[in-house]
Amino acid sequence: MRISTSQMTNIMLSSMQGSTTQVNKTFIQLNSGERMLEASDDPLGAVQLMMLDREQSDIGQYKKNISNLQTQLGQTESHLKASNTAVLRAQELVTGVLNASNSTMEGREAIATELESILEQLTDIANTKSPNGDYIFAGTKTDTQPIVKDAATGKYTFAGNSDQREVRVAESMSIPANQTADAIFGDVFNTLDSVVNDLRDPAIEGSSLKDSVTSAQTELKSSLNSINRAMTEVGGHQNSLTMISGSHDDNKLINDKLIGEVKDLDYSEAILQLKTQMAALQATQMTYSKVQDLSLFKMI
């Protein structure tokens, strides 16, 4: 089969173009440090990268959720500790009501005044807002003040709900972001309000006062148990978050390594490949040059 000069030229030009494309691609790989410039370079690797990138994105979101949740739980823990201290002090005051030194109305008024202050403190804590304006102890009704005093009855009521807001922190794990005022404090507000009123009422004395104190002691002990139970739960969640966050960090490192194995360029191999490609291109160019010099006149 005869090959014309134009056919030979086209073949040589096509060969040079292919070699040049390969050389340019290798240069781009060396400059970018990436082996796979497009999905067609490694279809299976491209799919693997897509899955790994998605997992890394999920890990990033989980880490963000964990960070926000740790802040919320830290705020909750701080308020629970303050509540615990306040209720313990209320217990001391109520227990001291029956001491002889506090039997006078002046002594009872002093105790009532401090208990009233504790009641206000606990109410403020129960109605605490987060930095974004949500009531943190109102359950999922975050725009509703949880503890309110009914003007008609004079009783404290819970206006939130008992639901907990779940936050996804891993593929198949969610952790509650909140505690609710009804579960934490129970009837402590009405208990304190009642004993304050009894202390200020001269008609309540002797066995009646003792009954009021005993009832208050029982309710305060129950509230203290609820607060401690909530603190234990919050502490457990914080420990879980620390472990989960560490697991995410480990998985991220593993994924980074896998991504590198699929995506990153082996410079030694690429440089060797570039030298081979350059040599092939130069050989093709030399051959093309010689073919161009061929003519019938030079053969005569």
**Band (134; pLDDT cuts 50, 70, 90):** very high
With left for phi above 0 and alpha for psi between -120 and 50, is residue 206 left, alpha or beta? Answer: left
pLDDT at 209 over 60: yes
pLDDT of residue 285: 58
pLDDT of residue 45: 74
| 295, two tokens | 């003519």
Instruction: Give the number of C-alpha atoms closer than 13 A to the C-alpha of residue 131, restricted to the C-beta side.
Output: 4
* Helices 105-126/43-95 angle, 10° precision: 170
Q: Can you tell me the mean pLDDT for 245-255?
A: 96
- DSSP assignment of the chain: ----HHHHHHHHHHHHHHHHHHHHHHHHHHHHTBS-SSGGG-HHHHHHHHHHHHHHHHHHHHHHHHHHHHHHHHHHHHHHHHHHHHHHHHHHHHHGGGSGGG-SHHHHHHHHHHHHHHHHHHHHHHT-B-TTS-BTTSTT-TTS-SEEE-TTT--EEE-S-S---EEEEETTEEEE----HHHHHTTHHHHHHHHHHHHT-TT--THHHHHHHHHHHHHHHHHHHHHHHHHHHHHHHHHHHHHHHHHHHHHHHHHHHHHHHHHB--HHHHHHHHHHHHHHHHHHHHHHHHHHH--HHHH-
Measured between alpha carbons, how far is residue 29 from residues 16, 49, 53, 261 in Å? 20, 17, 20, 15
pLDDT at 20 over 70: no
Instruction: Please state, as a whole number, how many other Cβ atoms lie within 10 Å of the Cβ of residue 24.
Output: 11
**Band (32; pLDDT cuts 50, 70, 90):** low
Question: Do residues 175 and 166 touch, judged by C-beta distance below 8 A?
Answer: yes
pLDDT of residue 122: 98
Q: Can you tell me the mean pLDDT for 231-255?
A: 96
Q: What percent of the chain has pLDDT over 70?
A: 74
pLDDT of residue 28: 59
**Band (266; pLDDT cuts 50, 70, 90):** low
Instruction: Please state, as a whole number, how many other Cβ atoms lie within 10 Å of the Cβ of residue 71.
Output: 12
Among the listed residues 129, 57, 250, the one whose alpha carbon sits nearest the alpha carbon of residue 65: 57
Q: Can you tell me the mean pLDDT for 77-97?
A: 96
pLDDT of residue 297: 46
Q: What percent of the chain has pLDDT over 90?
A: 65
CA end-to-end span of the chain = 23
pLDDT at 296 over 50: no
pLDDT of residue 299: 47
Spatial CB neighbours of 8, under 8 Å, sequence gap ≥ 6: 291
Domain 50-258 = CATH 1.20.1330.10:
yes
Buried (b) or exposed (e) across 178-211, using 16+ Cβ within 10 A?
bbbbbbbbbbbbbbbbbbbebbeeeebeeeebee
pLDDT of residue 279: 60
Q: Can you tell me the mean pLDDT for 276-283?
A: 60
Distance in angstroms (rounded) separating the CA atoms of residues 67 and 57: 15
Q: Mind listing the pLDDT tens digit for each residue in 149-169?
A: 999 999 999 999 999 999 999
Residue ranges per structural domain of the chain:
50-258, 267-300
pLDDT at 36 over 70: no
Spatial CB neighbours of 172, under 8 Å, sequence gap ≥ 6: none
The mean pLDDT value of the chain amounts to: 84
pLDDT of residue 11: 59
pLDDT of residue 278: 60
Q: Can you tell me the mean pLDDT for 54-59?
A: 95
Q: Can you tell me the mean pLDDT for 142-151?
A: 95
pLDDT at 137 over 50: yes
pLDDT of residue 113: 97
